[in-house]
Amino acid sequence: MAKLTLEEKRRQSIYRQLYGKQSSSPVKVEEVSKPQTPTNQISLNQKASPIQKTQAIDSKYLKNDLQKVLMLSTAAIAIQLLLFFAQRNHLINFY
C-alpha cells in the first residue's frame, strides 16, 4: 500500500466527514495539481463549497444553542435570587 501525502489524508478526512464511511474499499483520491492560474483557484473554491455550507449550518446551530443556554442560566439565577430573598425575609422556611 502506497503512503499517502498529508494533502491526500486531509481530503480523505473531509470526504468521510461529508459523506460518511463507505464500504470496506478505500477512498480513492484524485490527483489535483497545484493551482497555476486563477481559473484553477476558482474550480478548487467551488469544490470546497459544501464545507462552507456545513460551517454556516454549524454556526447557526451554535448560535441557537448558546441562546438556549443563556436563557436557561438566566432563569436558574433568577430562581435562586427569588428563593434567597424569600428566605431572607422569612417568607419561606427550608427547615
- The total of structural domains in the chain comes to 1
Domain membership flag for residue 85: yes
69: pLDDT strictly greater than 90: yes
Beta carbons of 87 and 94 less than 8 angstroms apart: yes
Domain membership flag for residue 93: yes
pLDDT in tens, 19-29: 887 654 454 55
pTM over 0.85: no
Domain membership flag for residue 76: yes
Choose among 23, 10, 15, 21: nearest CA to 50.
15
pLDDT in tens, 54-65: 767 788 889 999
Domain membership flag for residue 95: yes
SS3 16: helix
49: pLDDT strictly greater than 70: no
How far, in Å, CA of 70 to CA of 85, rounded? 23
Domain membership flag for residue 91: yes
Q: What residues make up the domain containing 75?
A: 69-95
Beta carbons of 83 and 92 less than 8 angstroms apart: yes
- Helices 38-47 and 49-88, interaxial angle, to 10°? 50
SS3 9: helix
